[in-house]
Amino acid sequence: MGEKRSTMGMTAFMVREFDPNKDWKEVEEVERRCEVGHASKMSLFTNLLGDPICRIRHSPPYLMLVAEMEQEGERKIVGMVRGCIKTVSCGGRKLFRNGSSNGDGENDPTKIISPIYAKVASILGLRVCPSHRRIGIGLALVKKMEAWFIHNGAEYSYITTEKDNQASLNLFLLKCSYSKFRTPSMLVRPVYAHRVKIPNRVSIFELDHLEAESLYRARFSATEFFPRDIDCILNNKLNLGTFVAMPTGSWPGSGRLLADPPESWAVVSIWNCKETFTLEVKGAPRALQWIAKATRAADRLLPFLGIPSVPQLFKPFGFHFLYGLGGEGPRAGRMMEALCAHAHNLAKEMGCAVVATEVASRDPLRPAIQHWKRLSCEEDVWCMKRLVEGYSDGPVGDWTYSQPGFSIFVDPREV
């Protein structure tokens, strides 16, 4: 991708493609400088473990851009942005036995939902050094990334940000013509020193990759943002497995799970973020750190009490991400609680400090996902923009104007 020079007033900078052979140290320094301004208060820091494209490399095609400026006779990187493109579901339409998609088969009990796909781009990790903000670098990076999206056939672009990140919201909503699209919740649960008990009346089974793919495509392919390449996610080395929970004694056998499912069941897949980057809480008061340490000590000594201890969050820690959450039946919530307990115990075995997931605010399984409110974000903000005109609106029309569904599929490759 070619270079692009921009001039804002008397300030000139250049936007170009990231060079992994020479840029990664400078990029890590920019990440550190962007976060150091919050060191005086309790904040979450990210360590990319020497891989600046870790959040996009599993989602080809992808691109990382950097902005550089001359300082003291040398060109220095002062900003960057990452982006990737994928094909995802933006909804679905009903199909009936006679092949129609209208009301001719409205009473047909064998109706199915056929997914409608769109090519969607995602912007991640936009960073500009604090000393070089408000001179147009962030805007130039986004515009250059959008041009690459359009060149590669993307119809929509979206970003996720926190609801209190006013600078990011101003950039995308006011300057880049994005609209607020969805407001899911990021739910985080700490990993205790003790194992969490799974109810005796619930059994958990692991599906192989083909079984998991069949289940997801049959039941959830019309869920918003469901990735068409779900097979690539399930076969990725970072995927730790897909697990199904159901009442004990109701397992129909893997071959009949879709044809003859139990009355109630739930499913979840687990992604190992620990292998790509770590997190760390900095700026915490010393008293809070001592209290957290005391809870861990008590939990280790008296595990049978089930003390909700605070894990070691004040040093670099890894985490697991739960995705593909779903279920059916009157006890689906109970089954999801058991799966979350199983995920907790797996994270404990693998040395992770927290388990996280992101779900739609109206997801019926949300109440079953145990989390700590202080660690969670009740309202994340997803903003979307239609990049080009001329595409067929299709059965869902312009997706940016559609009403939210009850569920959303969060791609773990972009967490």
Where do the structural domains in the chain lie, given as residue ranges? 4-86+120-183+381-398, 187-368
Give the 3-state secondary structure of 192-207: CCCCCCCCCCEEEEEE
How far is residue 325's CA from residue 17's CA, in Å, rounded to a whole number?
A: 36
pLDDT tens digits, 174-224: 999 999 999 999 999 999 999 999 988 999 999 999 999 999 999 999 999
- Here the tokens at position 5 are 């020079």
Least confident of 76-90, 134-148, 202-216, 381-395: 381-395
Instruction: Count Cα neighbours of 308 within 13 Å in the Cβ-side half-sphere.
Output: 5
CB 264 within 8 A of CB 331: yes
**Type of residue found at 311:** P
DSSP 333-347: HHHHHHHHHHHHHHH
Sheet holding 265-272, edge to edge: 185-190, 354-359, 319-328, 265-272, 239-247, 202-207
Backbone angles phi, psi at 334, to 5 degrees: -65, -40
Checking DSSP bridges between strand 319-328 and strand 354-359, what pairing results, if any? parallel
Token pair 């990382």 is at which residue? 64
- Here the tokens at position 3 are 């270079």
How far is residue 107's CA from residue 94's CA, in Å, rounded to a whole number?
A: 12
Angle at 227 between CA 403 and CA 155, to 5 degrees: 65
- Strand, helix or coil at 248? coil
How far is residue 268's CA from residue 324's CA, in Å, rounded to a whole number?
A: 5
Domain 187-368 has CATH 3.40.630: yes
SS3 content of the chain, % helix, strand, coil (to 5): 25, 35, 40
Beta strands in 228-308 (DSSP E): 239-247, 265-272, 278-282
- Strand, helix or coil at 263? coil
- Here the tokens at position 335 are 């089954």
Burial 197-206 (b: 16+ CB within 10 A, else e): ebeeebbbee
Q: In the chain, what percentage of residues exceed pLDDT 90?
A: 73
Cβ within 8 Å of residue 64, ≥6 positions away: 17, 18, 52, 53, 56, 80, 81, 82, 83
- Model pLDDT, residue 10: 45
Report whether pLDDT(107) > 70: no
- Model pLDDT, residue 23: 95
CB 189 within 8 A of CB 373: no
C-alpha closest to that of 413 among 321, 279, 278: 321
pLDDT tens digits, 113-164: 789 999 999 999 999 999 898 999 999 999 999 999 999 999 999 999 988 8
CB 272 within 8 A of CB 238: yes
Report whether pLDDT(259) > 90: no
Report whether pLDDT(394) > 70: no
How far is residue 66's CA from residue 280's CA, in Å, rounded to a whole number?
A: 25
- Here the tokens at position 141 are 């990076």
Report whether pLDDT(39) > 90: no
- Of the pLDDT bands very low, low, confident and very high (cuts 50, 70, 90), residue 37 is very low
User: Mean pLDDT over residues 45-65, rounded?
Assistant: 92
How far is residue 206's CA from residue 339's CA, in Å, rounded to a whole number?
A: 11
pLDDT tens digits, 320-368: 999 999 999 999 999 999 999 999 999 999 999 999 999 999 999 999 9
pLDDT tens digits, 260-278: 889 999 999 999 999 999 9
For the segment(s) 4-86+120-183+381-398, the CATH number from 1.10.1740.10, 3.40.630.30, 3.40.50.1370, 2.60.40.10 is 3.40.630.30
